[in-house]
Structure formats: structure tokens, C-alpha cells
Amino acid sequence: MSRIHVFQTDVSLARGDITTQVVDAVVNAANDHLWMGAGVAGAIKRAGGPEIETEAMRHGPIAIGDAVVTGAGKLAARHVIHAAGMGQDLKTDEAKVAAATRSAIRRAEERGLSSIAFPAIGAGVGGLAPYACAKAMVEAVLDELSRARSLRQVVFVLFDDPLYDAFHEELLRPFTKRPPKK
């Protein structure tokens, strides 16, 4: 596991299943209408129950880049933060992913949450390359943590080695002199 300390927050990486994380909130890589189909959203719905999607859809549609908070059903987490990183076309880019990541951090802060787990937003269904996803998300998190008051733990939960490697490099980039990979 890779870990850094930023301001008052530990930022780390983990391989595995985001639905098993014991945190205040897990982030759902959502679309702007907040229906939960495949990828991370489907896994959260299967593990936590359909009530998560029902509650989320009552908040939608939302702007791409925005986020809403719901209960977490049967998950170990207390909340799900649905961060809209894509529209109905299920395509995304670095700017949308960064905006969704920022919004998720802001929703966590608004609720005074101390821990949050992120998937690689847009790297699955959205088709974003691992390094592009990692760069957008890590930069957004590190920037938002400069203003954070309640968050003490941020974990990126990654499901495969290419994503883990990309996030590892991006997390350590501020402490190295290497240019980003494409």
C-alpha cells in the first residue's frame, strides 16, 4: 500500500473491492442521471441494495461534475457519494473526472465526514486511460485537501495492477521530478 500525509489527511492506495471499505463514504462513479448500471455503480448496487439507486435517482439528474450523497444500504460505509463523471453517453475526460472528484470531497466536507474511498472514476465504463484518470483525480484530491477541515483519510481503491501503478506514480509525483505518463 502506498501512503502519503497531506495537511491533516492520510492519502493511500489499496487494491480491492470498494464495496467492502469501512469508511464514512464510498464514492460511486456515477452518470448524471444517477442510475446504477455496470462497473463501480453496479457493484455498489449489488452489494448495498437497490435502495441506494432509488434514493440517488430522486436527486437526479445533476450536472456532470457534481455529486450527491445517499445512504449506503447494506455496505460497511455510512454513505455513498454519487460523483457524476459522465453523462448518458457514458464517456468522460480528465476535466469531468477532476470536477466529480472535487465535488465528492466537498460533499464529504459539508457533512463533516472523516474518511472517504474513491474508485478510479471513468477508468472503466467511461474509457479513460489509467494515467489520465490518476492524474485528474490525484491532483483534484490534493488541491481540495488544502481546504479540508474534517477529512482525515482518503483511499483510492483500485481493482487492477495498471490502475494501481498509475495512481502510485501520480500520488508520488509531487515528491519526484518525473514528467507524467500519457
- Residue 177: per-residue pLDDT: 64
The tens digit of pLDDT for each residue in 6-52 reads 899 999 999 999 999 999 999 999 999 999 998 999 999 999 999 99
* Average pLDDT of the chain, as a whole number: 94
Of the pLDDT bands very low, low, confident and very high (cuts 50, 70, 90), residue 179 is: low
- Residue 143: per-residue pLDDT: 95
Domain annotation for the chain: domains and CATH numbers: 3-175 (3.40.220.10)
- Alpha-carbon torsion 145, 1, 93, 182, what sign? positive
CA–CA distance, 88 with 91 (Å, rounded to integer): 8
DSSP 37: -
8 Å CB contact between 74 and 42: no
Ramachandran category for residue 23: left, alpha or beta (phi over 0 → left; psi -120 to 50 → alpha): beta
Q: Check pLDDT > 60 for residue 1.
A: no
